[in-house]
Chains A and B, each alone.
Chain A
Amino acid sequence: MAAADSPSAALRRRDLCSRGIRLAGKMRADVVDLLDAYVEQQGLDASASVAAMEGVPLAAVERWDEQTGTQRLQENLAAYRAFRALLAQMLEEQREQLGEAEEGLGRALAAVLLQVSAFAYHLEELLRLESRGVPGEEGDAPPPPPRLSLFEQKLRGLGVLRELAQWAVRSVRDLRQLAKPSPAPGAAPGLAESP
């Protein structure tokens, strides 16, 4: 990686990583809180399992420790852009269902949405620092979700939040990996790290 070309770039990168880690941590905490509120608000069972749904990026990945930094950033960016769209749709559906009466849940959803956007911004900045091009958003845009029933919307929302929480954990690990001092050229990628 060409990350540490200049001291200022290195500082900027470290700052972005640090801030991203903190943001991902807070995002996870907020999403966890939001999940509780969402389950309660939507009348769902917290232990209900949700099958993988189309359009929701999965945090689980094989050979995570073998990924390069750029690869990690790009996967994260794609995931959070997807979450941003999903959360925006959830927020719209939430307003349609409950109107302005449930401001607390809507405000929490909006806050998480903002955090997702902020994290995506962090990832884009990091990619720029890596001298990697930021992939265009339009091309990665998921296809419009099929029209779902109300219950399916609730379940999908639950699945989105659960997966976002997982992604927050993975993002923290990814950014910590990126924040480590750059290994010597030709060296193998960083060792696996427990989250």
Chain B
Amino acid sequence: MFSRWNWVACGFCLVLNICSPDASAGLVQSCGHIIPESPVLALGSNFTALCILNESCLDFGNIYASQIIWKIKNRLVPKEQYREINRTVSSVTFNDTSSLATPLTCNILADGQIEQNIYGITVTVGLPPEKPKNLSCIVHQKTVLTYVMNCTWDPGRHTFLDTQFRLRYSWPEEIFPDCIPKDVNNSCSINDIQFFVNTEIWVEVTNALGKAESDPLVVDPIDIVKPLSPQNVSVSSEVMPTALKLFWENRISDAVMTLKFNIRYRIAGDTNWMEVPPEDTASPRTSFSVQGLRPYTEYVFSIRCMKEDGLGYWSDWSEEKTGITTEDKPSKGPPLWRIIDTSHSPTSWTVHLIWKALKPFEANGVILQYEVTIRDKSSLSSPVRKYNVTSTNHTLQLPEGTYEVTLIARNSAGASPPSVLLIPASNSKAPVKNLRTLPKHDKLWVGWTAPNSYVLKYVIEWCLVSSSSDCITEWQIAPGDVQGIDLKGIKPFKCYLITVYPLYADGQGSGQSVKAYLKQDRPSKGPTVQTKKVGKAEAVLTWNHLTVEEQNGFIRNYTILYKTIDGNETVVTVDPSKTEYTLSSLTSDTLYTVRMMASTDNGSRTGPDFTFTTQKFGKGEIEAIVVPVCLAFLLIVLLGILFCFNKRDLIKKHIWPIVPDPSKSNIAQWSPQVPAKHNFNSKEQMYPEGSFTDVSVVEIEADDKKSFSEQDLKPFDLLKKEKSTSEGHSSGIGGSSCMSSPRQSVSDSDEGETTQNTSSTVQYSTVVLNGYRDQTPVQVFSRSESTQPLLDSEERSEDHAGGADSAAQRQQYFRQNGGQDETNTDRPCFERTKQITHVNEGDLVGFVQLQISGQSSQPLGLGMEKITQEAALSSVLQTCTEGQTVRPETVEENPLSVDEMPKSYLPQTVRQGGYMPQ
């Protein structure tokens, strides 16, 4: 119980110690303290602190040194750094003070691990001051009598401590007050400076860790003075036009120091200073005459000073003062040139004399007037003409000849040397050679090779070449001993025409010209190309040259780029002098896109695209095709006519066969095998196979046509249309008579339409056997729709009367049909006939039946017909499928049975999707 009370009392005591450490010596006694108290330590050094416990606390609170722990701020110091010296003293050692921080506290770890603070100290870590280096001083003159010495030095490293710098100076027997820097640590200014005594100056620096001094600087302050610059500078003109005199006041007395000076000057407006030789101004003075200046030129002067022996510093430059030299007579004559206009009259010249105003350094004053003198060299007796001019040109009329023009510029000081120009009758002397140009930054250098003769001078003319305005000539004169000059004021990307004339003592050489650019660029636009002529495989392109303003440089070449829509681009390079080019090897009937590019040394520019289409046929190709075809056609027609003419009798017989007159028929001889009913659709029914041997064509007089009604005539109108359609599909060339035969039969029918358009019409079929040239004779099949019974005997007689050839053909026809012994030669005609016959759906039924019978569906070889008449066939097929209403016969009224079908070929209708005999 007692020990607990004892511990509590001790804890209370410790808390008091912590809360009021300053009272340790007062009312409350501390249980310990640390030595050293608030030390200042050098950075990087080692440090040992001791914590000493009071004896009283040992007895009262059972506190011993072994319980001491050290802390830096709140961080525990490792116990390896502790050492228990005795039961009341514990030490802690730091090998490097850089690890230290504030505060460093001594604490007790009492029973129950309660940590109690005993004492704490503040540790300051820093560096001792370094020796100040590089001490230097300068005495600034502030007023005439006031001097301030300012000294600067290198303070060295930062010490992290409060460090005092002081500048000290002394005479051997006099110590002056220290100069304490304010707000800085590297400079200080001393006001009460005395000259002519060597003064020792040094810097002292001190802090808690030490003291250092700089090396002393021993100097007489008069040797480090920077004086004030001379004042009240003035400039006055001298009698000589090349001199000006300066006056000034020094602001330091000779008793203090004697001075030397620097004088600088420049031409007003120029930035480059010139300086009077220093040795000319190395002695004390208050004025100086500057010579070697240009007449009538404004100069700016400035002056500075320093101690005569060169010790110390130069003052600042004084304020600038200006002065103008007096005028002198012009140093040279104005550059003179002429432009001779002979356009009005070759024998009388308009001479424009032009000259350049002298430059200021040549004029040496204000030019009051120019005196122009003209002497006719070809006539010594001619008076000398004199003109006083104030401008820089003069125009006069002179007869053709040789003149000497003299020009003098005059100012208030006198006249210039004369400028002489010879105006010759012609420029017959040798020109310069190898004229060339070379850009140099913003100038254009023009160079040439001098002629062999001695040249007084050269005249260089140049002008800006323009397509819209005249060339405004500028000119310049160069001495005769140079072979090149720089032209100024030349604009980039502009073309200049430069001409160089050599001037000799006795005349003038002819000019040599060259075009030049200061700087080139790519053209501002590309050429616009178009076609002049377009053929099948070639196209002639034309374009205009770019204007000189658009060129921006020398056009080195044109490039033509052309391509088809989907083809690769072809590039052609063209000489820049050309304005036309022919593209060859083009593809006919093709769209081409062409564009053109102009190139200078610095780039290219492409013009707009242009498109053209090559022609399908070349020149003469159409004529070469059409003319032979026409000739061939004419020849064929001619041959056909001749053939028909030779065979006119036979043709006539077949076209207009002799039709037996029924009125002359003999009933006794006519014994119909079938009842006379009007089944005209199927003569095969009427005439079964093998029951007849021939068919006659009934010729009906045209007059009979009128006896038919309109209704009866309608089918024939349609037939007329079909006729014309079929004719349209005919090639007309190479067509055989087989082809034309059916149409011919229609035509025939047209002529004999009365015979075929009534129910009582007797239909006849006629087979015309004929051949074309060496081909197998073609069979013509015609069919009669007559319902009248034919008299066998009459028919036979008619056939016989028609000629043996006709009869043979017909027999051959029917024999082939009847015996099914078809040949390829026969089949085409028959097939053709079927194809141009149009039937309706009902017709097809009949044909299907025919096909079932198997008699008429035997395939026939296409043979020659297929080859020669393919085009015609397709035409006919097309016609049929379009449903044209050619209906020469109708079969639906009385369809036949299979047994009743004759074993012969019948004309069949070819329709799309229908049956077609093979």
Instruction: Give the chain B neighbours of A56 by CB distance below 8 A.
Output: none
Contacts A19-B220, A22-B222 given; indicate if A118 touches B145 (C-beta within 8 A). Answer: no
Within 8 A of A (CB), among B226-262: 253, 255-257
Evaluate contact between B194 and A28: CB separation under 8 angstroms: no
A26 at the interface (CB under 8 A from B): yes
Evaluate contact between A122 and B197: CB separation under 8 angstroms: yes
B7 at the interface (CB under 8 A from A): no
Evaluate contact between A118 and B171: CB separation under 8 angstroms: yes
* Assembled-state Cα–Cα distance A115/B253 (Å): 16
Most chain B CB within 10 A, of A22, A29, A30, A33, is at A22
Tell me which of A22, A33, A115, A117 contacts B173 (CB under 8 A).
A117
Per-residue A-contact encoding for B157-180, CB less than 8 Å = 1, 0 else: 000000000000001111000000
- Closest-by-CB residue of A relative to B257 is A22
Instruction: Give the chain A neighbours of B192 by CB distance below 8 A.
Output: 107, 110-111, 114
Interface residue tally of chain B, by bracket?
10 to 19
Contacts A19-B197, A26-B255, A118-B196 given; indicate if A33 touches B174 (C-beta within 8 A). Answer: no
Within 8 A of B (CB), among A91-143: 107, 110-111, 114-115, 117-118, 121-122, 124
- Closest-by-CB residue of A relative to B196 is A23
Instruction: Give the chain A neighbours of B198 by CB distance below 8 A.
Output: 19
Evaluate contact between A29 and B220: CB separation under 8 angstroms: no
Contacts A19-B220, A22-B222, A33-B145 given; indicate if A118 touches B256 (C-beta within 8 A). Answer: no
A190 at the interface (CB under 8 A from B): no
B195 at the interface (CB under 8 A from A): yes
Instruction: Give the chain B neighbours of A111 by CB distance below 8 A.
Output: 192, 194
* Assembled-state Cα–Cα distance A37/B194 (Å): 19
A186 to chain B, nearest CB (A): 34
* Assembled-state Cα–Cα distance A38/B657 (Å): 176
- Closest-by-CB residue of B relative to A29 is B255
* Assembled-state Cα–Cα distance A154/B173 (Å): 29
- Closest-by-CB residue of B relative to A16 is B198
Evaluate contact between A26 and B197: CB separation under 8 angstroms: no
Tell me which of A19, A33, A124 contacts B196 (CB under 8 A).
A19
A25 at the interface (CB under 8 A from B): yes
Within 8 A of B (CB), among A12-30: 19-20, 22-23, 25-26, 28-30
Within 8 A of A (CB), among B169-220: 171-174, 192, 194-198, 220
Contacts A19-B197, A114-B174 given; indicate if A25 touches B145 (C-beta within 8 A). Answer: no
Evaluate contact between B197 and A23: CB separation under 8 angstroms: yes
Evaluate contact between B255 and A121: CB separation under 8 angstroms: no
Instruction: Give the chain A neighbours of B256 by CB distance below 8 A.
Output: 22, 26, 29
Instruction: Give the chain A neighbours of B255 by CB distance below 8 A.
Output: 22, 25-26, 28-29
Most chain B CB within 10 A, of A19, A22, A110, A118, is at A118
Contacts A26-B255, A29-B253, A29-B256 given; indicate if A115 touches B194 (C-beta within 8 A). Answer: yes
A136 to chain B, nearest CB (A): 14
Within 8 A of B (CB), among A60-110: 107, 110
A86 to chain B, nearest CB (A): 17
* Assembled-state Cα–Cα distance A124/B197 (Å): 13
Instruction: Give the chain B neighbours of A118 by CB distance below 8 A.
Output: 171, 174, 194, 196-197
Instruction: Give the chain B neighbours of A33 by CB distance below 8 A.
Output: 145
Per-residue A-contact encoding for B780-818, CB less than 8 Å = 1, 0 else: 000000000000000000000000000000000000000
Instruction: Give the chain A neighbours of B174 by CB distance below 8 A.
Output: 114, 117-118, 121
* Assembled-state Cα–Cα distance A81/B171 (Å): 16
A20 to chain B, nearest CB (A): 7
Instruction: Give the chain A neighbours of B171 by CB distance below 8 A.
Output: 117-118, 121
Interface residue tally of chain A, by bracket?
20 to 34
- Closest-by-CB residue of A relative to B197 is A118
- Closest-by-CB residue of B relative to A118 is B197
Instruction: Give the chain B neighbours of A114 by CB distance below 8 A.
Output: 174, 192, 194
Instruction: Give the chain B neighbours of A117 by CB distance below 8 A.
Output: 171, 173-174
- Closest-by-CB residue of A relative to B256 is A26
* Assembled-state Cα–Cα distance A124/B172 (Å): 11
Evaluate contact between B195 and A26: CB separation under 8 angstroms: yes
Tell me which of B145, B173, B257 contacts A121 (CB under 8 A).
B173
* Assembled-state Cα–Cα distance A22/B158 (Å): 43
B555 to chain A, nearest CB (A): 82
* Assembled-state Cα–Cα distance A61/B172 (Å): 30
* Assembled-state Cα–Cα distance A22/B197 (Å): 10
Instruction: Give the chain A neighbours of B196 by CB distance below 8 A.
Output: 19-20, 22-23, 26, 115, 118, 122
Instruction: Give the chain A neighbours of B257 by CB distance below 8 A.
Output: 22
* Assembled-state Cα–Cα distance A163/B586 (Å): 123
A53 to chain B, nearest CB (A): 27
Instruction: Give the chain B neighbours of A26 by CB distance below 8 A.
Output: 195-196, 253, 255-256
A114 to chain B, nearest CB (A): 5
Most chain A CB within 10 A, of B196, B220, B255, is at B196
Instruction: Give the chain B neighbours of A122 by CB distance below 8 A.
Output: 196-197
* Assembled-state Cα–Cα distance A124/B174 (Å): 14
B191 to chain A, nearest CB (A): 9
Within 8 A of A (CB), among B250-287: 253, 255-257
- Closest-by-CB residue of B relative to A115 is B194
* Assembled-state Cα–Cα distance A117/B171 (Å): 10
* Assembled-state Cα–Cα distance A118/B169 (Å): 14
Per-residue A-contact encoding for B645-680, CB less than 8 Å = 1, 0 else: 000000000000000000000000000000000000
* Assembled-state Cα–Cα distance A29/B196 (Å): 14
* Assembled-state Cα–Cα distance A158/B521 (Å): 89
B193 to chain A, nearest CB (A): 9
B199 to chain A, nearest CB (A): 9
Per-residue B-contact encoding for A25-47, CB less than 8 Å = 1, 0 else: 11011100100000000000000
* Assembled-state Cα–Cα distance A130/B145 (Å): 35
Instruction: Give the chain B neighbours of A20 by CB distance below 8 A.
Output: 196
Instruction: Give the chain A neighbours of B195 by CB distance below 8 A.
Output: 22-23, 26
Instruction: Give the chain B neighbours of A23 by CB distance below 8 A.
Output: 195-197
A174 to chain B, nearest CB (A): 16
* Assembled-state Cα–Cα distance A107/B143 (Å): 15
Per-residue A-contact encoding for B54-74, CB less than 8 Å = 1, 0 else: 000000000000000000000
Instruction: Give the chain A neighbours of B173 by CB distance below 8 A.
Output: 117, 121, 124
* Assembled-state Cα–Cα distance A19/B145 (Å): 19
A30 to chain B, nearest CB (A): 8
- Closest-by-CB residue of A relative to B220 is A19
Instruction: Give the chain B neighbours of A28 by CB distance below 8 A.
Output: 255
* Assembled-state Cα–Cα distance A159/B195 (Å): 25
Instruction: Give the chain A neighbours of B220 by CB distance below 8 A.
Output: 19
* Assembled-state Cα–Cα distance A117/B173 (Å): 8
A27 to chain B, nearest CB (A): 8
A183 to chain B, nearest CB (A): 27
* Assembled-state Cα–Cα distance A48/B222 (Å): 35
* Assembled-state Cα–Cα distance A28/B197 (Å): 16
Instruction: Give the chain B neighbours of A115 by CB distance below 8 A.
Output: 194, 196
A129 to chain B, nearest CB (A): 14
* Assembled-state Cα–Cα distance A19/B257 (Å): 11
* Assembled-state Cα–Cα distance A19/B256 (Å): 11
- Closest-by-CB residue of B relative to A24 is B196
- Closest-by-CB residue of B relative to A120 is B173
B174 to chain A, nearest CB (A): 6
- Closest-by-CB residue of A relative to B174 is A117
B146 to chain A, nearest CB (A): 10
* Assembled-state Cα–Cα distance A33/B257 (Å): 17
A173 to chain B, nearest CB (A): 15
* Assembled-state Cα–Cα distance A26/B195 (Å): 8
**Can you give 10 contacting A-B residue pairs, CB < 8 Å?**
A22-B195, A26-B195, A26-B255, A28-B255, A29-B255, A115-B194, A117-B171, A117-B173, A118-B171, A118-B197
Chain A to chain B: the 9 pairs with minimum beta-carbon distance, closest first: A23-B196, A118-B197, A29-B255, A25-B255, A26-B255, A114-B194, A22-B196, A19-B196, A26-B256
Binding site for A on B (CB under 8 A): 145, 171-174, 192, 194-198, 220, 222, 253, 255-257
Given contacts A22-B257, A25-B255, A26-B256, 10 further A-B contacts (CB under 8 A): A107-B192, A114-B192, A117-B173, A117-B174, A118-B194, A118-B196, A118-B197, A121-B173, A121-B174, A122-B197
